[in-house]
Every structure is written in structure tokens, then in C-alpha cells.
Amino acid sequence: MNKFLILNSLFLFSQIPNPEPKFLNLKNQLEKFGFQVVIELPPKRGAYALLREADRKIWINPVVFELHIGTQTIIHEAVHAAQVCAGKGKIKPLGLDIQPSNYARPFFLRYADVHRQDLEKEAYAVQTQSNSFELAVFLLQKYCK
Ligand SMILES: [Zn+2]
């Protein structure tokens, strides 16, 4: 990584209003398990975040910090990361025995692809639990170790 890139990412990071300890904790854990986490506009327009399986790269849209959903967003992506680990690189559902709330249904049903719906359903199920952070950490450690 060249000096400019390092300075640039430090700059972006310093722009995060009140970086939340849980966000930073999950970011560190993801990096420990070989995922690269960047605070940049994802290549998919309008997305809050994106995980690219091929090189384990995770984009977090800087807007999530302004919306105060930074921790929620990285929890959601951490579930996808655990799904990548579980499938040994080919993303697959973990088969968790929890359901997302009815309010979360439109968020995963909008995906046309049924496989994608299963992946998203699981991410939203974890994200909407009261212990979502602990659950995401547990799943990362279970599947990515
Ligand atoms: Zn998702």
C-alpha cells in the first residue's frame, strides 16, 4: 500500500463521527480473518455495504456513520463473511435457527434470486436480534477460525 492510500484511508477514517467501539471491534476481527474492510462508496450504487466473495473485500459506505447505522451495517456484513467462511469461499447460508422480524421481510424478499434471499434472510435475522453484536462475533469465530 502506498503512502497516499494509507493517508487517504486514515483521512476517511478520521471523518467517521464517533467511531463506535463495536464497529471497530468487528472491523478488526474481520481483518484478522482475512477480510479487507474499506470505508468507501461500494461499487453497487445506493448500497450501504457490499462484500465481494472473490477477494474477501468489504465496502462500508461512509454515509452509514452519518445515519448512525455503522455497527448494524458491519454486523450484517460480518454474517455474510461467516457465510463465505462456512462455504469455504463459496458463500452459503449457515442454517441458523432464528427468524428475522416481519418488518425485515421486505429487505430480503426484494432480492429476486432465492439463494440470495436465504443469505440475506440470515443476515437480517442476526442483525435484528438484541444480542446481534455478540452473535456476529460468535459466528465469525465459529466459521472463520
Ligand atoms: Zn446482505
**Residue 118 C-alpha to ligand 1 middle, in angstroms?**
10
Which of 93, 91, 49, 97 has its CA nearest to residue 71?
49
**Residue 2 C-alpha to ligand 1 middle, in angstroms?**
31
Q: Which of 45 and 5 is assigned the larger pLDDT?
A: 45
Residue 1: pLDDT over 80 = no
Residues with CB under 5 A from ligand 1 (ion): 120, 123
Q: Where are the domains of the chain?
A: 3-144
**Residue 80 C-alpha to ligand 1 middle, in angstroms?**
7
Strands of the 57-60 sheet, one edge to the other: 36-39, 57-60, 49-52
Instruction: Give the 3-state secondary structure of 2-53.
Output: CHHHHHHHHHHHHCCCCCCHHHHHHHHHHHHCCCEEEECCCCCCCCCEEEEC
Is residue 24 very low, low, confident or very high in pLDDT (cuts 50, 70, 90)?
very high
Q: Tens digits of per-residue pLDDT, 99-134?
A: 898 998 998 899 899 999 999 999 999 999 999 999
Residue 36: pLDDT over 70 = yes
Residue 10: pLDDT over 90 = no
Q: Which amino acid is at 97?
A: D
pLDDT at 19: 67
Dist. CA 80–CA 63, nearest whole Å: 20
Residue 11: pLDDT over 80 = no
